[in-house]
């Protein structure tokens, strides 16, 4: 068969596109539905369902259509898939904000269906069609089925690698979808150019369809910003207008720097750094931190006697390392995302003077530092909250080795303060490692006493007992944040062993963190989506 190599290339590419679309879809859905265990279950089960339907659909077609149409189907389905990918990119900015209101799990199923249903069914149906086509000329007992599935799976591996290493770090998710679609169309056009003198594998109608669909996807890609500005909103419920100043694609999430223009005003009042829609840092145009948690972390650092060295796990907008550095400390910052530093320098007035910055997963870094620091500040957030792999007993044991004999761990956590089922296992885990553990909770100003609201809280742990009497110097802290810090001190709770007896330790061996926090993160994600303009969530 003259076109055998072409079809093997096609099956390889289609396998790559299928996995690429799945990865990108998960990232598109994250700002709207989060990344809880339940959400991932929805995405994966939806993906596998459509692949199963595609395999069955392809087998059904081979039985009912004459063999002379099989080649045309193999080349038409990628073009049709590209069309549906383009159409989904037109549709999902309009639909996803509404779907989050019907429930995150249901919404993630429906969102996955909008983005993946037709492309996955069409591309996976190619496999049984090609097996049927090869059966006509194959002498092997399996009609080449094993090699076809091998090629398709190898293509999937290639698709994962290309998407992870090249597409995700360099393109927004919206653009990445359209790049996949354009690639499918361009492949069919290239096949025509290569084979037009030797075979009539592609007829004129298919060629015209390929050109039109590819042009449609490329036009959507070129006019992406104009389209999104017209079909989404950048105004929040209070009437404030949010303007995207910069956007950074990365493996760890979509970062945006947003300028907030208050209702009735024309000028930006302050900047916000958001990751997947969740605010990480807030700073004034003049460079003054407006995030209470940053001041709280710096204030708690005074619990260490004459601290000289601080390890900060999580850069954010750079406020905490900058303030500690201004106090004369030698600072080491570990962050997984280099784009955090770009954003901090470009918009948050951050200058890493006398600061060592390392781009690495914090879990890996703490395995290789020993008795070096007076303070370790844990300020790691991703997607909806704290990453689960840095909330285990084993991680805190490694953190403990980073501290010198008088060292203190200061951890900023995002939690429902009244939810004992989630708070106490985390406290039990840290107590198991350090023994000396203290908890401080932020007061929620809510008329309806909403116990299901996530807020910042703080866990302090030390190798030695913290002195009972500490005099804090708050001279360089704005008065409004001084009041919050005093309220934090009043919430002080010393953790005792008898409080923790019935709670399970979070460990690497059967990490229960995602199960414990899934529901509260889903509740918070739903509130976030309802209060955040859709343009900010689309990435």
Element (H, E) at 457: strand 454-462
pTM: 0.88
Asked if residues 256 and 342 have their Cβ atoms less than 8 Å apart, the reply is no
* d(C-alpha 101, C-alpha 391), whole Å: 30
* d(C-alpha 27, C-alpha 21), whole Å: 10
* d(C-alpha 345, C-alpha 55), whole Å: 50
Q: Which residues belong to CATH 3.40.50.150 in the chain?
A: 279-535
pLDDT by residue (tens digit) across 454-485? 788 999 999 888 776 667 778 778 888 888 88
In Å, how far are 129, 132, 137, 176 from 66, measured between CA atoms? 12, 11, 16, 36
* d(C-alpha 407, C-alpha 373), whole Å: 7
Could you write out the three-class secondary structure of 294-352?
HHHHHHHHHHCCCCCEEEEECCCCCHHHHHHHHCCCEEEEEECCHHHHHHHHHHCCCCC
* d(C-alpha 414, C-alpha 453), whole Å: 10
pLDDT by residue (tens digit) across 122-155? 999 999 999 888 876 666 666 678 889 999 999 9
Q: Which residues belong to CATH 1.20.1250 in the chain?
A: 4-229
Domain 279-535 CATH (choose: 3.40.50.960, 3.40.50.300, 3.40.50.150, 2.60.120.380): 3.40.50.150
* d(C-alpha 297, C-alpha 294), whole Å: 5
* d(C-alpha 223, C-alpha 212), whole Å: 16
Q: Pairing relation of β-strands 436-441 and 373-378? A: unpaired
In angstroms, the first-to-last Cα distance of the chain is: 44
DSSP state at residue 164 = I
Q: CATH topology for 4-229? A: Growth Hormone; Chain: A; (1.20.1250)
pLDDT tens digit at each of 539 positions of the chain = 457 888 899 999 999 999 999 999 999 998 998 887 778 888 899 999 999 999 999 999 998 888 878 888 888 999 999 999 999 999 999 999 989 878 888 899 999 999 999 999 999 999 999 988 887 666 666 667 888 999 999 999 999 999 999 999 899 999 999 999 999 999 999 888 887 644 455 678 888 999 999 999 999 999 999 999 999 999 999 999 999 999 998 887 789 999 999 999 999 999 999 988 888 899 998 888 898 999 999 999 988 888 899 999 999 999 999 999 988 899 999 999 999 999 999 999 999 888 999 999 999 999 989 888 999 999 998 767 888 899 999 999 999 999 998 899 999 998 888 888 889 999 999 999 999 999 998 876 554 455 557 788 999 999 888 776 667 778 778 888 888 888 888 899 999 888 888 899 999 998 888 888 888 888 888 888 888 999 999 98
């Amino acid at each position: 068969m003259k076109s055998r190599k072409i079809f093997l290339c096609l099956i390889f590419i289609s396998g790559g596109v299928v996995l690429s679309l799945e990865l990108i879809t998960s990232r598109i859905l994250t700002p709207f539905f989060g990344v809880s265990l339940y959400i991932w279950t929805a995405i994966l089960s939806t993906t596998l369902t459509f692949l199963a339907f595609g395999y069955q659909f392809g087998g059904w077609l081979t039985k009912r259509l004459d063999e002379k149409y099989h080649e045309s189907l193999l080349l038409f389905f990628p073009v049709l898939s590209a069309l549906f990918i383009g159409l989904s990119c037109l549709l999902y900015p309009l639909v996803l904000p509404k779907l989050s209101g019907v429930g995150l799990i249901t919404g993630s199923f429906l969102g996955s269906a909008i983005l993946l249903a037709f492309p996955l069914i069409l591309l996976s149906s190619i496999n049984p069609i090609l097996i049927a086509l090869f059966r006509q000329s194959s002498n092997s007992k399996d009609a080449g089925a094993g090699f076809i599935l091998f090629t398709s799976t190898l293509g999937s591996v290639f698709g994962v690698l290309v998407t992870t290493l090249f597409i995700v770090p360099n393109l927004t998710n919206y653009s990445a979808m359209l790049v996949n679609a354009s690639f499918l169309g361009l492949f069919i056009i290239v096949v025509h150019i290569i084979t037009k003198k030797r075979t009539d594998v592609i007829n004129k109608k298919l060629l015209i369809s390929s050109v039109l669909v590819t042009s449609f996807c490329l036009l959507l890609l070129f006019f992406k910003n104009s389209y999104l500005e017209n079909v989404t909103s950048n105004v929040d419920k209070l009437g404030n207008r949010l303007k995207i100043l910069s956007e950074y694609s990365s493996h760890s999430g979509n970062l945006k720097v947003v300028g907030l223009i208050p209702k009735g005003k024309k000028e930006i009042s302050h900047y916000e750094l958001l990751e997947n829609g969740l605010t990480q840092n807030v700073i004034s145009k003049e460079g003054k931190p407006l995030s209470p948690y940053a001041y709280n972390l710096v204030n708690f650092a005074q619990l260490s006697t004459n601290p000289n060295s601080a390890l900060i796990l999580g850069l954010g907008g750079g406020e905490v390392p900058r303030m500690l550095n201004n106090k004369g400390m030698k600072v080491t910052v570990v962050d997984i995302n280099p784009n955090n530093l770009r954003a901090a320098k470009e918009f948050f007035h951050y200058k890493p003077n006398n600061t060592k910055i390392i781009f690495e997963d914090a879990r890996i870094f703490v395995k290789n530092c020993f008795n070096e620091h007076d303070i370790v500040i844990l300020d790691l957030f991703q997607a909806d909250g704290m990453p689960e792999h840095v909330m285990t007993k084993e991680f805190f044991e490694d953190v403990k080795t980073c501290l010198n004999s008088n060292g203190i761990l200061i951890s900023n956590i995002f939690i429902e303060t009244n939810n004992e089922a989630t708070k106490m296992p985390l406290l039990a885990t840290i107590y198991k490692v350090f023994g000396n553990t203290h908890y401080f909770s932020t007061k929620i100003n809510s008329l309806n006493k909403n116990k299901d609201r996530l807020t910042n809280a703080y866990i302090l742990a030390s190798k030695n007992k913290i002195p009972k009497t500490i005099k804090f110097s708050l001279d360089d802290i704005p008065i409004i944040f001084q009041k919050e810090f005093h309220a934090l001190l009043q919430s002080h709770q010393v953790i005792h062993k008898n409080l923790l007896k019935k709670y399970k330790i979070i460990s690497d061996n059967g990490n229960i963190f995602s199960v414990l926090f899934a529901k509260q993160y889903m509740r918070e994600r739903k509130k976030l989506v309802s209060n955040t303009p859709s343009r900010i969530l689309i990435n």
